Amino acid sequence: MTSPRIAVIIGTTRPTRFGHKPAEWIKSKIEQDGRMSADILDLAEYDLPMFEEMASNKWMPSKDPKAVKWQEDLAKYDGYVFIVAEYNHSISGALKNALDQAFVEWDKKPAAVVGYGGTGAARAVEHLRNIAVELRMVNVASAVHIAGGELMKVHPLGGVQDGKIEDIEPVIGPSAKALVDELYWWADLLKGARAEAQAKAA
């Protein structure tokens, strides 16, 4: 069986967003670990419409070609890392819409989170985990929270224009390692379980 493939999903679309930096960083951590491969899926590149289908693709195929393309790309992966900013105690509207645009592709796959904000996006992360349960994903308990003073060391709001996540790695590195370890455990386990279920159904 091939090694698990992971999609790192940038969960905001604003031109001024910060999410690409933690996305590239956690992707590098996954690749350095060597047990999984990783790609970045950027919501800003998908231009997804607001969800207006009759129902989710759990019940019937989606009609919008942009939504179908999103689903096809998601289906290539065995797990997901969501890069989450906190918008008014929740995830961004763009990320919620992207989650709603699929179901089959999320089902029985692990969801991990890297959050950033004043509280490390803690409230948004909890909201995302509730959504993930409804989409039949398995939440990875360990998460990375880039919060407060550490965020200001690498974020433009702290006066830093070229900050690198690596600069705060002594603080958040252990959390990243725990995330990668747990993500691999679940991704590998569930990949095998899905394959077994498909074989039995054939």
For 67-91, what is each residue's pLDDT tens digit? 999 999 999 999 999 999 999 999 9
Q: What is the pLDDT of residue 202?
A: 80
pTM of the predicted structure, to 2 decimals: 0.96
Residue identified by tokens 């997804």 is: 48
Contact between 184 and 35 under an 8 Å Cβ cutoff? The reply is yes
Domain ranges of the chain: 5-201
3-state helix, strand, coil in the chain (%, to 5): 45, 15, 35
5-201: CATH topology is: Rossmann fold (3.40.50)
For 179-197, what is each residue's pLDDT tens digit? 999 999 999 999 999 999 9
